[in-house]
Amino acid sequence: MTTSIDRLITNLERRAQSDDPAALVEASRLVAEHPSESKVWGLRAYIFARTGNLENAISDLTRAMELSSQEPSNYFDRGRYKLKLGDSAGAVADFSHALELCDEHGDDYHRESLHFVRADALVRAGKRSEALEDLRKVRDGFTLWTTTLRSKEGLMTECE
């Protein structure tokens, strides 16, 4: 991907954070112009998610993953969107795959967050013992926004 496209993506991310409605139109234009670039699909997925259109965000992330299947953050984000839609099993599958990619690449950047969100999805799926296994890999006091602001301690309480 060229530097100019990277700059456009950064600019559109900022515009989306400012709730600029034209950001989605511009992101769609980028997807049409560069359909083989996973980052433009990821950008549009991000904008769709910010506007509450999680189904389209999931669809765009799925396309980004078809183009670049080794990026853990795509699975992390798609899993979060699935969790928000109530698809705990789909979320667990995405979080698990992202953790496998972290192992393959020696990438620990998302690891703790992935264990945490997978634990949340497992709790929602009624798999409390599996959730506790994930929570053992998360530091005390850890909090993260999943569907609401969640804490390690709160999830552990739900597992008891």
Q: Domain of 44: which CATH number?
A: 1.25.40.10
62 and 78 inside one domain: no
Q: Of 69, 98, 125, which one is at a domain's C-terminal end?
A: 69
Q: Specify the pLDDT at position 119.
A: 98
Looking at residue 107, what is its pLDDT?
87
Q: How many CB atoms lie within 10 A of CB 56?
A: 17
- Note the helical H segments in the chain: 3-17, 22-33, 38-50, 54-67, 72-84, 88-105, 111-124, 128-135, 152-159
Asked whether residue 64 falls in the same domain as residue 136, the answer is: no
Tokens of 152: 């390690």
Same domain (yes/no): 48, 91: no
Q: Which residues of the chain have pLDDT under 50?
A: 1
Q: Does 45 lie in the same domain as 105?
A: no
Q: What is the pLDDT of residue 2?
A: 60
Please give the pLDDT value at position 118: 98
Residues 160 and 119: their CA atoms lie apart, in Å, by 13
Identify the CA nearest to 42 among candidates 21, 65, 23: 65
State the Cα–Cα distance between residues 113 and 99, nearest whole angstrom: 10
The number of domains in the chain is 2
Shared domain check, 155 and 87: yes
pTM: 0.92
Verify that 49 and 84 share a domain, yes or no. Answer: no
Residues 100, 60 share a domain = no
d(CA 75, CA 66): 11
Do 138 and 150 lie in one domain? The reply is yes
Q: Which of 50, 69, 88 is the last residue of a domain?
A: 69
What domain range is 32 assigned to?
1-69
Note whether 35 and 113 are same-domain residues: no
pLDDT given at position 4: 87
Residues 58, 100: one domain?
no
